[in-house]
């Protein structure tokens, strides 16, 4: 299978494509969660230097589908204020990204996943005007390192009085734009993604199908059981990342 990037075998590629479907279905059903789950999956298979870039392209495709479908419900004034901060934040994050070693990136990823899974997301007041610019900037610096900032952005939107459709749609267009800026930034700083494009394309297609079918599929699984298992799996992934940073070896490996 010559379309696979170095270090990725056919079974791993198949698993990632399948996970793209299920994580996109999760995001379609609940608004957040799929990006963090996909980040955890990539962290165990993709080289640290390209994890966030590959994740960004996959999530760009996944969020674009949601954004197109929901665009009529989006709060566009909020979006444009968010974009002011996002452009500045991505530029700053790109400048910092090139100076950080792999172990730092892995450590940041591990800590971030644990925070997203276990720490209650704060409600941040007063962000409808200039504050949303600050939120866009902070989340966009973070996205260059941790990738899955969807929960952070949802926390910014929560206090603003949007109804469910407005919140999901505004979140979708913000995430789409942020991931697009990030992909461009990674291109400028020389992150090589050419060899990953065939696999990424397959994951994007699978993710779009998951976005369309997600709600019906997820309704068949008890929500409490699913949420518990998701927390357990993400926690194990995060702890393994931190183990690798610390240099500890598992018995027998």
- DSSP string of 44-109, one letter each residue: TTS-HHHHHHHHHHHHHHHHHHHHHHHGGG--HHHHHHHHHHHHHHHHHHHHHHTTS-HHHHHHHH
Range from 25-29, 122-126, 139-143 carrying the lowest mean pLDDT = 122-126
What is residue 138's predicted lDDT score, i.e. its pLDDT? 84
| Range 126-132 average pLDDT | 67
| Range 198-224 average pLDDT | 76
Q: pTM above the 0.85 mark?
A: no
Domain total in the chain: 1
Q: What share of the chain is helix, strand, coil (3-state, %, to 5)?
A: 80, 0, 20
**Which of 83-92, 128-137, 161-170, 201-210: highest mean pLDDT?**
83-92
Residue 245 domain-assigned? no
What is residue 253's predicted lDDT score, i.e. its pLDDT? 46
pLDDT band at 1 (very low <50, low <70, confident <90, very high): very low
Who wins on pLDDT, 2 or 238?
238
What is residue 243's predicted lDDT score, i.e. its pLDDT? 83
Distance, CA of 253 to CA of 5 (rounded, Å):
25
Residue 5 domain-assigned? no
Look-up: residue for tokens 């392209």? 57
Residue 249 domain-assigned? no
| Type and span of the H or E element at 3 | none
Residue 202 domain-assigned? yes
Q: Write out the residue range of the structural domain in which residue 199 sits.
A: 10-239
Residue 101 domain-assigned? yes
Residue 176 domain-assigned? yes
Distance, CA of 141 to CA of 112 (rounded, Å):
13
Whether the CB-CB separation of 20 and 38 falls below 8 Å is answered with yes
| Range 159-184 average pLDDT | 85
| Range 99-121 average pLDDT | 75
Residue 139 domain-assigned? yes
Who wins on pLDDT, 214 or 54?
54
């Amino acid at each position: 299978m010559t379309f696979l990037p170095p270090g990725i075998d056919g079974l791993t590629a198949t698993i990632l494509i399948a996970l793209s479907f299920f994580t996109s279905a999760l995001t379609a059903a609940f608004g957040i969660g799929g990006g963090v789950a996909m980040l955890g999956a990539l962290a165990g298979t993709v080289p640290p230097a390209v994890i966030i870039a590959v994740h960004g392209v996959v999530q760009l495709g996944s969020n674009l589908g949601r954004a197109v479908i929901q665009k009529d419900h989006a709060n566009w004034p909020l979006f444009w204020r968010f974009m002011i901060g996002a452009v500045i934040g991505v530029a700053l994050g790109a400048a910092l990204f090139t100076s950080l070693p792999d172990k730092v990136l892995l450590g940041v990823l591990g800590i971030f996943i644990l925070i997203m899974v276990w720490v209650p997301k704060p409600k941040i007041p007063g962000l409808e005007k200039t504050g949303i610019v600050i939120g866009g900037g902070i989340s966009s610096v973070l996205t260059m390192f941790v990738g899955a900032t969807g929960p952070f952005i949802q926390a910014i939107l929560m206090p603003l009085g949007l109804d469910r459709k407005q919140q999901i749609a505004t979140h979708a267009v913000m995430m789409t734009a942020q991931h697009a800026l990030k992909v461009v930034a990674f291109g400028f700083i020389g992150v090589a993604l050419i060899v990953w494009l065939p696999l990424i394309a397959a994951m994007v297609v699978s993710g779009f199908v998951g976005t369309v079918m997600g709600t019906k599929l997820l309704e068949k699984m008890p929500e409490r059981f699913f949420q518990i298992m998701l927390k357990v799996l993400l926690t194990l992934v995060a702890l393994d990342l931190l183990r690798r940073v610390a240099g500890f070896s598992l018995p027998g490996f």
